Structure 1
Amino acid sequence: MSNRAPHLEIRFRGRVIEHLGIDMYQSPVAAIAELVSNSWDADSCKVSVTLPPKIGSRAEIVISDDGEGMTLAQCQSRYLNVGYDRRKDRGDDRTPTGRPMMGRKGIGKFAGFGIARFVTVETISKETGERTSFRLDATQLIEDTDTYAESQPLKVEVLEYDEPDEARTARHGTTITLSDLALKMTPNAAQFRTSMARRFLLMERADEFRVEVNGESISNSEDVEKIEFTFPGDYTEEQLPDSVRIDDEGWGVEVLPNGSQVRWKFVFYKEPIGEDELTGISIFSHHKLAQRPFLFNLSGGFGGQQGTSYLSGRVEADFLDEQKRDLISTERQRVNWEMEASQPLLEWGQTRVKSLLRIWQALRSKAKVDAMRKRMTPFSIRLGKLEKPERKIVEKALTSIARISSLNDEQFADLAEAMLSAWEGGRLRGLIDDLSEADTMDAETLVKILAESRVMSALHAAERVKSQLNLITGLEERIKKRELENEVRDYIAENPWLVSPRWETFRVERSVKALVDEVAKEAYGEYWNARMDLVLSSGNQLLVVEFMRPGLKVDWDHLNRYERYVYKLQHATLAKYSEYRTVSGLLVADKIEKASDILAKIEDMRPRDMDATDWAGLLGRAKKQWEDYFEILFSRAPDDSRMQLLAQSPNGNSA
């Protein structure tokens, strides 16, 4: 450390600092982007941004680069000189390594005051090895003054200064620490990386400039899987404008009427983007954002306008930052489009966007139709049953629906299924016929279809529930008439779901019959020949239903034998058949003895997948489940006359 007393000062403060720092850069991304730009202009190869894990009194944001750094004198003449023009000072708009400079106004260095009270700078000069550290206090700079300039300079606190040392030049670079942060929320590192990537055109130049946030490099935020079309790459030979040349990186290159060149790439996402930072076209100049995403000031009344919510793109227009008069706003968020020099770009952008929106609309419709035809394959049998004129109407109606670009694939598939079911059921035929003749569809018509398809879906399900209830009634009649056990068992085997909605996917399973008979013979002994079982399966679950002969009552002795039987069957099945993971048992009888020990025994067995019930209890529980399901369906369309008729006619269907 030298004994020499280093001296730094600042003359412009007060409202200058307030407007150039606090007022314009209150977003962490905007503030830090300015500091990253300064690192670019300092010929840095790498910039590291460290965000705090949590906002608090000691939280800091650190921006560190390996650029050319500054001497003590340069800290005074460059950093603390408000409005310092690096281009004019060096007589060139390029850095020593040939980079086009991003900075122009000499005020971005104060961006940190937009989010922090203290800005601490530590810099090592590549030229001399000098090391300087100083701190600026926003409160001190703007306190008790309403002026833009001060007659008396304000002394800047120099924390450390080391004189020139050639050995230190290898560690050249600048570190800026922002402390006493004015942030209310902890910045999300992943979102921060995405936002930073959208402000810089860095990926094409990753070999010469790398930006990291919390140790991870920022990257192109475009998710290829979410993008449907990319231009100019997806132009057909006929669509490609004569003025567009596609370069090796897939960007379009065009020369504007004023002789200036632009590079561009636009993409359309599969779904609406929903992010202001990404929706629209961003303009970059010298690799840095000059115009936040917009649509070249287009108003309504052009084809494919709904596609604007799917559109994102970037344009490189370096000429904007090379004009004698500054065309870019101070905080680099917008271009002055009223100026003569920017008008050719504005007019080009309007033409290009409108043209691509029309192409997108045609491609989107074709993609929907192709997807529809592919999805029609599972419906081929049903469509084949329609008369040719009817099939043609339904297919044309589906094509009309496919033109609605706002429908995603899942919504389209659901709607196509509903429309086909509606036609088969004799409903909505007039509306579907109208749709088949419509070139376009308004929102009101679509809403009507969606609302009616929702009603139909509920109505179809409700009719089916009523059918299940009718079958349960039929089963009750068989039980009351004391029909033979075999007939009852066969009735359930054909319709296992009618006993419980949970059984809807079960089917008769014969592959385990030999094992079931073997275990039953062992468990029941002399009673084995008197037993009747039904074995059902669904997926990896096996269900064995034992029917007691009509007139018998479940007692303690039978429960013990039944428990032993199911327990042995569970172990034997799991040991021999790997496809079954659970084995459940159900005992059904005319009556169950109401003694407390019998009922307690049944409650004890249920957690172990064994249950016992009488016919009244089983069918009553099943009926209640189906009736509850019907109530849910009814609530989806309570005002529909067909649903009301179905509700009023327990043993009938709607007309």
Structure 2
Amino acid sequence: MSIAVPHLEIRFRGRVIEHLGIDMYQSPVAAIAELVSNSWDADSRKVDVTLPGKIGTNAQIVISDDGEGMTLAQCQNRYLNVGYDRRKDRGNDRTSEGRPMMGRKGIGKFAGFGIARFVTIETVSKETGERTVFRLDATQLIEDADSYAESQPLTVEVLEYDEPNEGRKEQHGTIITLSDLSLKVTPNAAQFRTSMARRFLLMERADEFQVNVNGEPISDSEDVEKIEFSFPADYTDDQLPEGVIVEDGWGIESLSNGSKVRWRFVFYKEPIGEEELTGISVFSHHKLAQRPFLFNLSGGFGGQQGTSYLSGRVEADFLDEQKRDLISTERQRVNWEMEASQPLLEWGQARVKSLLRIWQSLRSKAKVDAMRKRMTPFSVRLGKLEKPERKVVEKALTSIARITSLNDDQFGELAEAMLTAWEGGRLRGLIDDLSEADTMDADALVKILAESRVMSALHAAEHVKSQLNLIAGLEERIKRRELENEVRDYIAENPWLVSPRWETFRVERSVKALVDEVAKEAYGEYWDARMDLVLSSGNQLLVVEFMRPGLKLDWDHLNRYERYVYKLQLATLARYSEFRSVSGLLVADKIEKATDVLAKIDDMRPRDMDATDWAGLLGRAKKQWEDYFDILFARAPEDARMQSLAGPTSGDAS
């Protein structure tokens, strides 16, 4: 029987709900992951997430669990208490059944507002059998508390209340319904399961906590058949680091501060190509604390090519057990500047570097073994060479075999080209150098060899110098404020001018209609003032937006741009299966130097949204090409032609 009950209320300062929900959790996976975390903390055994079959006016997302539920008083004192610290209230960081708590800040319950206007909560208390149903309206919470200074309670609509009942205790749990959704694209259930699995480490506890999406459990995202090496399982006895205990394929060891970590790193047979999987994810209390990264390594280490093959997970519960919170609110990154997190950062850097070297050695061995088999057709020709010559050629082939980015076909072609060149008396000096290249940087060799089989350092340096000259020419055009279609088209034809890593990108026209559609929706009245360049390479899509000359990039521009790229990422992944990664770059004349603007740009970069001015963009590109030229120059510093190339760069971009 339903009875009248006193109203509930929520008290907070100003538009805090907007920032805790709408601004932080605009991804459905991120928002729902927070609600699943609350179910874990409520000692649920099972959570069911139901996604809509189609986005529309009546579409809903429902998250139901069989946790301990809440009494009416707990709804008021816990759920509607913004920032409620369950750990402090309980006096420890464990749930009633002894689970390590995932929640800490008391704000994840508002994550639903990132994707919905209404959040309806139906909860039955395991303790009393009380049943309470109430609804939160984001519009009311934001508009009725429009000031940042006021702290007035707001009435919360209670839809139903049933008093304590012993028989109802068995129905304990909570159902959260998200309605009036802001999503424009229907979530793909299969992709959703995979993304959810990557936010939690729960597979080994599936018997006590199962998460289902549309009736099917989330599953481990690893494709075992695609994995080539797994560590620590694939360590040899002499490679296993001191202090590492191997248990069920995972490594367990202590950091320099005494904290324990549990880890497993794998290398795939082919480059991964998925942002959610490439790199090392850090988990604390079974929940994602740091999105995949490489422990802030910036380069200059052996086996660096292997980073695109590397994926891994680290369990570091101590991060979530510090007095000071080390994990960002939306649980995407750890504050690595803090003293408490430094031991893990240092350990991770050392472990990644070590495993990349091992990976490089293993891949090289596989290449050498394959080379030996492929050498059979060349055995007669090699046998005709004098023994010292044969030794030089074989060693040169071994050096090339260490270049992990070359596939078998490319290696076979290079081997044929090198043997033919040697027989013809050509390039013997370079082949002799290659035979001694045990320590030569593999990436440098790739740049020299991949484009035209065997290429001299001088020719490569000439190519780099021409790129630098063209960048200088582009800088001159920028100074002359030629920032309209001509410069955009110029970059479209030569994307490598802005960054060497864009050498493989080309103009992509197949998504123009979608880009225009999303831009018009995201920018509204500002749409006609935009100028986009859309590039693609493989499964990657890059959208470069050029701001009008004279405009200074400010907070409002960034907000519109962030919304535009986010919408484009969702729409592209939903409509175009060939593109799995969508990045954005915003280029302006100048950037407002306000602290919040610069911080906003830094926050956007991990989500594949970058913003810069022309000076910064071209400066970075020039530095990368200059560094490569220095490497080439060091190989022939006495050569007069190389010394001539090292002279001043001229700006010719006509």
Structure 2 CA distance for aligned equivalents of residues 124 and 410 of structure 1: 64
| 8 Å Cα contact 1:46/1:66 also seen in 2 | yes
Structure 2 CA distance for aligned equivalents of residues 44 and 450 of structure 1: 55
Task: Give the structure-2-normalised TM-score.
Answer: 0.65
1:55 CA drift (Å) = 2.0
1:17 CA drift (Å) = 0.1
Structure 2 CA distance for aligned equivalents of residues 259 and 445 of structure 1: 42
Structure 1 CA distance for aligned equivalents of residues 331 and 112 of structure 2: 15
Task: Give the structure-1-normalised TM-score.
Answer: 0.64
Structure 2 CA distance for aligned equivalents of residues 362 and 132 of structure 1: 62
Which position in structure 2 is the counterpart of 1:133? Answer: 133
Structure 2 CA distance for aligned equivalents of residues 228 and 257 of structure 1: 30
Structure 1 CA distance for aligned equivalents of residues 235 and 127 of structure 2: 51
Which position in structure 2 is the counterpart of 1:327? Answer: 326
Structure 2 CA distance for aligned equivalents of residues 83 and 398 of structure 1: 63
Q: Indicate how the Cα distance of structure 1 residues 57 and 390 shifts in structure 2: closer, same or farther if over 3 A, else same.
A: farther
Which position in structure 2 is the counterpart of 1:231? Answer: 231
Q: Which amino acid aligns with 1:219?
A: S
Q: Is structure 2 residue 349 aligned with structure 1 residue 350?
A: yes
1:287 CA drift (Å) = 0.7
Alignment partner of 2:339: what SS?
A: coil
| 8 Å Cα contact 2:121/2:175 also seen in 1 | yes
Q: Indicate how the Cα distance of structure 1 residues 288 and 149 shifts in structure 2: closer, same or farther if over 3 A, else same.
A: farther
Q: Which amino acid aligns with 2:17?
A: I
Q: Which amino acid aligns with 2:72?
A: L
> What does 1:601-612 correspond to in 2, within 5 Å?
none
Structure 2 CA distance for aligned equivalents of residues 262 and 2 of structure 1: 51
Which position in structure 2 is the counterpart of 1:122? Answer: 122
Q: Which amino acid aligns with 1:328?
A: I
Q: Is structure 2 residue 190 aligned with structure 1 residue 211?
A: no
Query: Which one is further off, 374-383 or 33-42?
Result: 374-383
Which position in structure 2 is the counterpart of 1:101? Answer: 101
Which position in structure 2 is the counterpart of 1:395? Answer: 394
Structure 2 CA distance for aligned equivalents of residues 319 and 160 of structure 1: 41
1:144 CA drift (Å) = 5.0
Q: Indicate how the Cα distance of structure 1 residues 343 and 437 shifts in structure 2: closer, same or farther if over 3 A, else same.
A: closer
Which position in structure 2 is the counterpart of 1:39? Answer: 39
| 8 Å Cα contact 2:211/2:218 also seen in 1 | yes
Alignment partner of 2:5: what SS?
A: coil
| 8 Å Cα contact 2:200/2:286 also seen in 1 | yes
| 8 Å Cα contact 2:305/2:443 also seen in 1 | no
Structure 2 CA distance for aligned equivalents of residues 88 and 165 of structure 1: 29
1:128 CA drift (Å) = 2.0
Which position in structure 1 is the counterpart of 2:68? Answer: 68
> What does 1:234-633 correspond to in 2, within 5 Å?
234-247=234-247, 249-377=248-376, 391-416=390-415, 419=418, 432=431, 434-439=433-438, 440=440, 446=446, 449-452=449-452
Structure 2 CA distance for aligned equivalents of residues 418 and 59 of structure 1: 62
| 8 Å Cα contact 1:281/1:295 also seen in 2 | yes
Instruction: Deviation per CA, 1:383-408: give whole Å up to 9, x if none.
Output: 66766566544433322221111223
Q: Which amino acid aligns with 1:99?
A: R
1:246 CA drift (Å) = 1.5
| 8 Å Cα contact 1:11/1:150 also seen in 2 | no
Q: Is structure 2 residue 168 aligned with structure 1 residue 163?
A: no
Alignment partner of 1:342: what SS?
A: helix
Q: Which amino acid aligns with 2:234?
A: D
Q: Which amino acid aligns with 2:362?
A: L
Between Structure 1 and Structure 2, how many residues are aligned?
A: 454
Instruction: Deviation per CA, 1:447-489: give whole Å up to 9, x if none.
Output: 564444699xxxxxxxxxxxxxxxxxxxxxxxxxxxxxxxxxx
| 8 Å Cα contact 1:271/1:310 also seen in 2 | yes
Q: Which amino acid aligns with 2:2?
A: S
Structure 1 CA distance for aligned equivalents of residues 2 and 90 of structure 2: 30
| 8 Å Cα contact 2:3/2:162 also seen in 1 | no
Q: Which amino acid aligns with 2:176?
A: I
Alignment partner of 1:207: what SS?
A: coil
Which position in structure 2 is the counterpart of 1:186? Answer: 186
Structure 2 CA distance for aligned equivalents of residues 328 and 43 of structure 1: 22
Which position in structure 2 is the counterpart of 1:507? Answer: none
Which position in structure 2 is the counterpart of 1:17? Answer: 17
Identity, in percent, stands at 84
Q: Which amino acid aligns with 1:69?
A: G
Query: Which one is further off, 33-42 or 56-65?
Result: 56-65
Which of 1 and 2 has greater Rg?
1
Q: Indicate how the Cα distance of structure 1 residues 83 and 451 shifts in structure 2: closer, same or farther if over 3 A, else same.
A: closer
1:129 CA drift (Å) = 2.0
Instruction: Deviation per CA, 1:226-259: give whole Å up to 9, x if none.
Output: 2222111122211212221222x22211122222
Structure 1 CA distance for aligned equivalents of residues 48 and 148 of structure 2: 33
Structure 1 CA distance for aligned equivalents of residues 60 and 68 of structure 2: 24
Instruction: Deviation per CA, 1:518-547: give whole Å up to 9, x if none.
Output: xxxxxxxxxxxxxxxxxxxxxxxxxxxxxx
| 8 Å Cα contact 1:6/1:161 also seen in 2 | no
Q: Which amino acid aligns with 1:18?
A: E
Q: Is structure 2 residue 76 aligned with structure 1 residue 81?
A: no
Q: Indicate how the Cα distance of structure 1 residues 432 and 155 shifts in structure 2: closer, same or farther if over 3 A, else same.
A: same
| 8 Å Cα contact 2:13/2:152 also seen in 1 | no
Structure 2 CA distance for aligned equivalents of residues 150 and 167 of structure 1: 43
| 8 Å Cα contact 2:395/2:435 also seen in 1 | yes
Q: Indicate how the Cα distance of structure 1 residues 15 and 243 shifts in structure 2: closer, same or farther if over 3 A, else same.
A: same
Q: Indicate how the Cα distance of structure 1 residues 328 and 366 shifts in structure 2: closer, same or farther if over 3 A, else same.
A: same
Which position in structure 1 is the counterpart of 2:462? Answer: none
| 8 Å Cα contact 1:12/1:149 also seen in 2 | no
1:92 CA drift (Å) = 2.7
1:441 CA drift (Å) = 6.1
Q: Indicate how the Cα distance of structure 1 residues 238 and 218 shifts in structure 2: closer, same or farther if over 3 A, else same.
A: same
Which position in structure 1 is the counterpart of 2:606? Answer: none
| 8 Å Cα contact 2:25/2:114 also seen in 1 | yes
| 8 Å Cα contact 2:418/2:454 also seen in 1 | no
Structure 2 CA distance for aligned equivalents of residues 431 and 153 of structure 1: 78
Structure 2 CA distance for aligned equivalents of residues 411 and 199 of structure 1: 38
Q: Indicate how the Cα distance of structure 1 residues 230 and 135 shifts in structure 2: closer, same or farther if over 3 A, else same.
A: same
Q: Indicate how the Cα distance of structure 1 residues 452 and 264 shifts in structure 2: closer, same or farther if over 3 A, else same.
A: closer
| 8 Å Cα contact 1:13/1:141 also seen in 2 | no
Which position in structure 2 is the counterpart of 1:57? Answer: 57
Q: Which amino acid aligns with 2:276?
A: E
Structure 2 CA distance for aligned equivalents of residues 421 and 49 of structure 1: 63
Structure 2 CA distance for aligned equivalents of residues 241 and 152 of structure 1: 58
Structure 2 CA distance for aligned equivalents of residues 445 and 346 of structure 1: 31
Q: Indicate how the Cα distance of structure 1 residues 203 and 444 shifts in structure 2: closer, same or farther if over 3 A, else same.
A: closer
Alignment partner of 1:341: what SS?
A: helix
Q: Which amino acid aligns with 1:259?
A: G
Q: Indicate how the Cα distance of structure 1 residues 389 and 293 shifts in structure 2: closer, same or farther if over 3 A, else same.
A: same
Q: Indicate how the Cα distance of structure 1 residues 283 and 442 shifts in structure 2: closer, same or farther if over 3 A, else same.
A: closer
Alignment partner of 2:81: what SS?
A: coil
1:143 CA drift (Å) = 0.7
| 8 Å Cα contact 1:203/1:220 also seen in 2 | yes
Q: Which amino acid aligns with 1:337?
A: W
Which position in structure 1 is the counterpart of 2:30? Answer: 30
| 8 Å Cα contact 1:404/1:441 also seen in 2 | no
| 8 Å Cα contact 1:200/1:288 also seen in 2 | yes
| 8 Å Cα contact 2:253/2:261 also seen in 1 | yes
Structure 1 CA distance for aligned equivalents of residues 285 and 197 of structure 2: 15
| 8 Å Cα contact 2:12/2:151 also seen in 1 | no
Q: Indicate how the Cα distance of structure 1 residues 381 and 134 shifts in structure 2: closer, same or farther if over 3 A, else same.
A: farther
Structure 1 CA distance for aligned equivalents of residues 180 and 414 of structure 2: 55
Structure 1 CA distance for aligned equivalents of residues 338 and 454 of structure 2: 54
| 8 Å Cα contact 2:14/2:142 also seen in 1 | yes
Alignment partner of 1:300: what SS?
A: coil
Instruction: Deviation per CA, 1:256-298: give whole Å up to 9, x if none.
Output: 2222111111112222222222222221111111112222222
Structure 1 CA distance for aligned equivalents of residues 412 and 214 of structure 2: 43
Q: Indicate how the Cα distance of structure 1 residues 383 and 191 shifts in structure 2: closer, same or farther if over 3 A, else same.
A: farther
